[in-house]
Structure 1
Amino acid sequence: MSDDAIKLPVDVSCILHLLPHRYPFLLVDRVVELEPHRRIRAIKNVTYNEPYFQGHFPGRPVMPGVLVIEAMAQVGGLLTQLSAPPEAHKEGQLFYLVKVDNARFSRMVGPGDQLDIEVRVKRVIRNMALYDCIGRVDGREVASAEILCAEGRE
């Protein structure tokens, strides 16, 4: 998409065109800020209806940290997709999580929270992007990580 074609906020119907993830694994609801090729901010509304809360944990629902990391990776994928011109998008194009460094969880995320995810591009190397990611709830950091994603090859 070109810069002028991107209308914020980017809603879930547009996100579904940009990411291959579907229920129950789509972990981004809305993009609220975008600086193409640099940074993005997106929201995941966490509700008690999330399927993982049944077992994680009964009576004390907590969003698994691995899913917070996955949400960050999906937001990184949206930054890559929204920064690319439309003609660069390929049907069925997949990006894979390759590496996670310095993952840190400072607070729990649970039902009723709005997970605010900020992702910044640290470096792009051929078909890979290295992202700095921070998750916040009510302005307070809940998680952070450095994530490396790579475009899948046919």
Structure 2
Amino acid sequence: MNYLDINGIKEIIPHRHPFLLLDYVEDYKPGEYCTAYKCVSYREDFFKGHFEEKPVMPGVLTIEALAQAGAVAILSQEENKGKIAFFGKIDKCKFKGQVVPGDKLKLETKIIKVKGPVGVGEAIASVDGKVVASAELTFMIG
């Protein structure tokens, strides 16, 4: 297994606070997959307005966290080091549950296709084994 703490993640992807949404990587294989986690705390900036009475992590941020896991997989390849992965498209996106303070969000992104600088990742976010979001994420390396 290839574990990364926050400093290891920051060596691979360019995201920084408050937009770095991964806390640690449990395992990854360059160009193939990444399994990462986000430990969701009530102190997250987005909970101030989403929603004060019933805090819920915005779904778009769950998708962004999945994309960051995919970025670890693709940008850890030698030929992509120091580059940035940009969103190209989001397909087959489904939200099946809410992410709330105290949840440990598991983020699994598997690279299923790459052609030149463009690729696709199959992404699944879950909490306690229950899928909360899934999507196919198209990226472009810039």
- Shared fold per TM-score greater than 0.5: yes
TM-score by length of 1: 0.87
Give 2:95's aligned residue.
Answer: 105
User: How far is the alpha carbon of 1:63 from its aligned partner?
Assistant: 0.4
Higher CA-based Rg? 1
Is 1:96 the equivalent of 2:83? no
User: How far is the alpha carbon of 1:37 from its aligned partner?
Assistant: 2.5
Could you report, residue by residue, the CA deviation over 1:72-125 in whole angstroms, capped at 9, with x for unpaired residues? 11100000122x12x6523xx221111000110000001100110111111001
Report the secondary structure of 1:15's partner residue.
helix
Give the whole-Å Cα distance in 2 for the aligned partners of 1:78 and 1:36. 8
Is 1:124 the equivalent of 2:114? yes
Give 1:26's aligned residue.
Answer: 20
Is 1:140 the equivalent of 2:134? no
Give the whole-Å Cα distance in 1 for the aligned partners of 2:10 and 2:131. 27
Give the whole-Å Cα distance in 1 for the aligned partners of 2:109 and 2:81. 21
C-alpha change, 1:101 and 1:88, in structure 2 (3 Å) is: closer
User: How far is the alpha carbon of 1:40 from its aligned partner?
Assistant: 1.6
Is 1:16 the equivalent of 2:6? no
Q: 1:43 aligns with which of 37, 42, 47?
A: 37
Report the secondary structure of 2:4's partner residue.
coil
Give the whole-Å Cα distance in 1 for the aligned partners of 2:109 and 2:88. 16
Could you tell me the percent identity over the aligned residues?
39
Give 1:3's aligned residue.
Answer: none
User: How far is the alpha carbon of 1:8 from its aligned partner?
Assistant: 3.0
Number of corresponding residues: 142
Could you report, residue by residue, the CA deviation over 1:26-72 in whole angstroms, capped at 9, with x for unpaired residues? 00111112233322211011100100000000110000000001001
Moved more, 93-102 or 27-36: 27-36
Report the secondary structure of 2:70's partner residue.
helix
Give 2:52's aligned residue.
Answer: 58
C-alpha change, 1:119 and 1:107, in structure 2 (3 Å) is: same
Kindly provide the amino acid, as one letter, of the partner of residue 50 in structure 1. E
